Structure 1
Amino acid sequence: MRTLLALSLAVLVLVAGCSRGKYSSNLKHPDHVLVYPMPNNPTKLDPATVEDGDTLEVLTQVFEGLVEYNEQNELVGNLAESWDVSDDGLTYTFHLKKGVKFHSGREMTAEDVKFSWDRAATPSILSPTAEGYMADIVGFDECWHGQAQGLSGVKVVDPYTIQVQIKEPKAYWPMYLQYACYFVVDKDVVGMEPIESAERMVGTGPFTVKEVRADQQVVLERFNDYHKGAPKLERIIRLIVQDPNTRRSLYENGEVDWVQLERQDKQYVDQHPEFKNQLHIIDRPAIWYLGFSVKMLEPFKDARVRKAFAMAIDKDRIINEGFDGINQRADGIIPPGIPGHDPNFKGIPYDPAQAKRLLAEAGYPDPSKFPTVPLYYRADRADPRIVAQHVQQDLQKNLGINVELRPMEWKALLDKRNKGELEFFHLRWHADYLDPQNFLSFMLHTNARENTLGYSNPEFDRLCDMADRMPLSRNEERFKLYREAERIAVVEDAIWIPIYFQRDLELLRPEVTGIRRSLMGPLPHTQTDVVRSK
């Protein structure tokens, strides 16, 4: 799963007005108002076009899908109360919850669901995710290429029933529906243009959008007619704060309630005992990796070069020196917690001597003849910078290869990645749903929308295709196929170099209660509350 951000003057004044170095339960914000920072402006305001985790966390407070993950990591109904599947696995019938209201006050019906899905699949919306998540629906190709209006495989049966036909059985397909491109929007307000203003962000979620002010803040307000009952919070304020040290300082000085730390901040917390009981370490279904484009740089077409890079990078040094041992070393692609994760997976070992031999075999016995390699990464986060610097050092020391660091603003980096214009890069993939298919077929199959690398291996594709078509009742067989595909991608082809599985460090004030989580991350703040006046 994926700033131009200048720190707002308001936040600078806020920090300047606070004493430093000591936590205080600051009462500048009233009860029932949750304040926490985000590291960048929302990249998009439209659920059909969003693709990064920071923005998704905002939009999931505003928009909803037919299904969702609960705190037990089970896929359950949300806007749909239930669904049925035909015996052949090709037709899904969803029974919608009655009485669900949009923020506009109008009741949601099956017509809104169809409109929202048709809209996401329409070329003019420019969704970067619809092709990956909606292509299994009958009629998607015609709609996506402008040859039809709407998805022929999605039919409104009655105001509270919608039926979907998919092209071939894929038992994990309902998991797609909790992704943002399937979120339901108010057709009467949103229309067929991309959402670019707060006024058109009208969904069914627990909060409405009060304000989106670039480089300053996003403000959400309680939706009293929410179909699961009004949230306890009256307001959520997300401050746009690019600098991680400033985010931490805001927490230290009592100005925000919750903050995500960079991994290297653990030493800081250890030195400040007043924060000890407020620190939470949370496993996420996410992998940070190095990726190669076989289209952009000629040497990367040779798997021996990619393997040499993998053998020359000391992951343990990165994790221990860069992140105080917090993150878990990744040898494979599938993270812990995802069904099918293999804790005994054997990846490519750290072996600088063998790396040099492979590079010479590939035609580069003299590393000075190897072109300078650009390494792209996200500029607004310290963690990617730390990895990039270590990789630069290792490749220079162990292979004599020059790496040029190219930090980029987050939205620009995403755009460049989607166009397949990154020769060598460090990015994260966070699960969009809890299945190994999301990390293998979805990312690296020859025909996958997310595969912008030019990578293609017929055996990898064959294994994934077989696993993708199996029912969940045959998961052990599915997982065996996915694990073999994972081995091909990592060990034989080295198209990704897994670095670490993500663990988040968070500081959370004791005044904040009711935060719900699944493995995917925080769930919408329907039960969250903040009471500072006790």
Structure 2
Amino acid sequence: MLFIFLTSCADTENEAEPIGGIGTPAGSVAYVQLSTPVDFIDPAYVQNESEITIAKMIFQGLVRESSTGEVVPCAAEKWDVSPDKKAYTFYLKKGIFFHDGKEVTAGDFKFSWERVLRLNAPSAYLFSSIEGAAEVLSGQQKQVTGINAVDNYTLKVTLTVPQDNFISSLTHPAAAVLDRYEVVEQAADFAKPGTLSQPGKIPSGIGPFELVEWVDGRIIAIGKNNNYFGAKPALSRVEFSLNQPTEDAVLQVVSGKIDIIQDLVPSETPKLPEQAGAIELFQEPVRQFRYVGINAGLKPFTDKTVRDALC
């Protein structure tokens, strides 16, 4: 993944490292151009890079992925794994609050995960190995027998089979905790965008930023969560521009109207002016794979020699 951002305005004596690792003056505002449209910020439905980026800043779960790609504790202080690797017991940190002020409990996690399954959301597969998940997915049951809130700060999860990547899969936004009372109250309006004339309802997460504004097709703005339980972000506000062509965005970076471009196309880099220290490229690895599938039932791919020639 390739980013571009301006550094010439940075006050090096007061720099702090915000979430994401890009050095930024504390209390400043960042203007970001996203690479893909944002249709959802509801953790159950986010899929593309832009949606996941924003969701991870607002919502968090038991664990998270560090800047070096390691899985580290987040809302969970620690966890135990049974000898057969099918039972996980998570111990939540006490004193974690949603953006709306309610304290997070194990019951909120149970509700949030079961919601993903009840909705048969795109990321429901993350919980498919949990005991009782299949029955909820099929509509036979409303609660997952393998997800149990032992008390307010203890969550026990039982799998049908061992799954080596279970903990790492919980870094996906779909495993984030939601305020169950807020989700029920907002119903179909939960985490939906507003319009210029009708603001949307603000969903509460536990992340370092909270949603401030979302006008469909125009802007998403998030603000610093001053009560965040982890390291406080340096930025006070981030504004994301939506559906903006990359070429125009490059020009706006040069003019200083945009600070960061997400997923800059490599062919666009030659258009950047050679201003030493003014524009910086930043790269980070991403966990994804892509492939090209061949329909062996269509000519000429019915011919094995043709398929072999393409491989």
TM-score by length of 1: 0.49
Q: Establish whether residue 128 from structure 1 lines up as the match of residue 122 from structure 2.
A: yes
Kindly provide the amino acid, as one letter, of the partner of residue 228 in structure 1: G
Q: Establish whether residue 50 from structure 1 lines up as the match of residue 46 from structure 2.
A: yes
- Cα deviation for residue 195 of structure 1 reads 3.6
**Corresponding residue for residue 64 of structure 1:** 60
Structure number with higher relative contact order (C-alpha < 8 Å, ≥ 6 residues apart): 2
Matches within 5 A, 1:99-110: 99-110=95-106
**For the residues of structure 1 that align with 2:300 and 2:77, how far apart are their CA atoms?**
53
**Corresponding residue for residue 256 of structure 2:** 254
**For the residues of structure 1 that align with 2:266 and 2:153, how far apart are their CA atoms?**
46
Alpha-carbon spacing, 1:149–1:241, altered in 2? closer, same or farther (3 Å): closer
**For the residues of structure 2 that align with 1:187 and 1:248, how far apart are their CA atoms?**
41
- Cα deviation for residue 246 of structure 1 reads 0.7
Alpha-carbon spacing, 1:113–1:281, altered in 2? closer, same or farther (3 Å): closer
Q: Establish whether residue 115 from structure 1 lines up as the match of residue 116 from structure 2.
A: no
Q: Does the 8 Å contact 1:43/1:52 carry over to 2?
A: no
- Percent same amino acid at aligned positions? 29
- Cα deviation for residue 41 of structure 1 reads 3.1
Match of 2:217 among 209, 215, 218: 215
CA RMSD, Structure 1 to Structure 2 (Å): 2.6
TM-score by length of 2: 0.82
- Cα deviation for residue 215 of structure 1 reads 2.3
Match of 1:92 among 88, 94, 104: 88
Q: Does the 8 Å contact 1:49/1:126 carry over to 2?
A: no
Alpha-carbon spacing, 1:25–1:229, altered in 2? closer, same or farther (3 Å): closer
**For the residues of structure 1 that align with 2:117 and 2:172, how far apart are their CA atoms?**
14
Kindly provide the amino acid, as one letter, of the partner of residue 264 in structure 1: S
* Deviation sequence 1:92-136 (CA, Å, 0-9, x none): 0000011100011000000000000010000xx2411212x1111
Match of 1:80 among 71, 76, 83: 76
**For the residues of structure 2 that align with 1:174 and 1:302, how far apart are their CA atoms?**
43
- Cα deviation for residue 156 of structure 1 reads 0.8
Structure (1 or 2) with the larger CA radius of gyration? 1
Unaligned runs of 5+ in 1: 1-22, 311-347, 349-534
Alpha-carbon spacing, 1:293–1:139, altered in 2? closer, same or farther (3 Å): farther
**Corresponding residue for residue 170 of structure 2:** 177
* Deviation sequence 1:476-496 (CA, Å, 0-9, x none): xxxxxxxxxxxxxxxxxxxxx
**For the residues of structure 1 that align with 2:212 and 2:219, how far apart are their CA atoms?**
10
Match of 1:233 among 231, 235, 239: 235
Equivalenced residue count is 281
Considering fraction of residues, name the structure with more helix.
1
**Corresponding residue for residue 307 of structure 2:** 306
Alpha-carbon spacing, 1:208–1:157, altered in 2? closer, same or farther (3 Å): same
**For the residues of structure 1 that align with 2:202 and 2:144, how far apart are their CA atoms?**
23
Alpha-carbon spacing, 1:307–1:139, altered in 2? closer, same or farther (3 Å): same
Q: Establish whether residue 155 from structure 1 lines up as the match of residue 138 from structure 2.
A: no
Kindly provide the amino acid, as one letter, of the partner of residue 116 in structure 1: S
Alpha-carbon spacing, 1:307–1:212, altered in 2? closer, same or farther (3 Å): farther
Alpha-carbon spacing, 1:136–1:293, altered in 2? closer, same or farther (3 Å): farther
Alpha-carbon spacing, 1:230–1:46, altered in 2? closer, same or farther (3 Å): same
Unaligned runs of 5+ in 2: 1-6, 11-25, 194-199
